[in-house]
Amino acid sequence: MRVWDEAVRVPGTRFAVGLDPLVGLVPGLGDALGALVAGSVLFAALRAGVPAAVAVRMLLNIALDASVGAIPVAGDLFDAGFRANARNVTLLEHWLADPAHAARGSRVALAAVAVAALALLAALAYGLVWIGRAVLRLLA
């Protein structure tokens, strides 16, 4: 899996790049292949018996990587830095080393994502109401 995210170290830096951003350059097919490879890590984790919180966190990493990675050029740069596969392997390794701590950490991370998503939805709703009122004032 490291080959997919960290195959080659960029000379003179601590940064490494793998096959994911390179394959992602092929529109559609590259990101689909990346999601399939990432899914293999999730499948292995599920077979190992990771709890739902860890599995959902891994799935969110894959979804974020695939959705942002689908954006031409910017998505490939995101893929190079986000490294969903390495994140998921690390989550699995942490769960194998200390299951209770990893599960608790994943529940906290998922709660933070849920709060952030609700805050974003509230901000969008507020913005839509504000725009709607502005339009109504212009029409009146």
Q: Measured in Å, how far apart are the chain's first and last C-alpha atoms?
A: 60
Is residue 2 predicted with pLDDT exceeding 70? Answer: no
Would you say 73 and 14 are in contact if contact means Cβ atoms under 8 Å apart?
no
Q: Quick one: tokens of 124? A: 């969008």
Does residue 8 carry a pLDDT above 70? no
Distance, in Å, from the CA atom of 1 to the CA atom of 91, rounded to the nearest integer, reads 13
Range of the domain at 18: 2-139
pTM confidence score: 0.75
Number of folded domains in the chain? 1
Contact status, residue 91 vs residue 58, Cβ threshold 8 Å: yes
Average pLDDT, the chain: 86
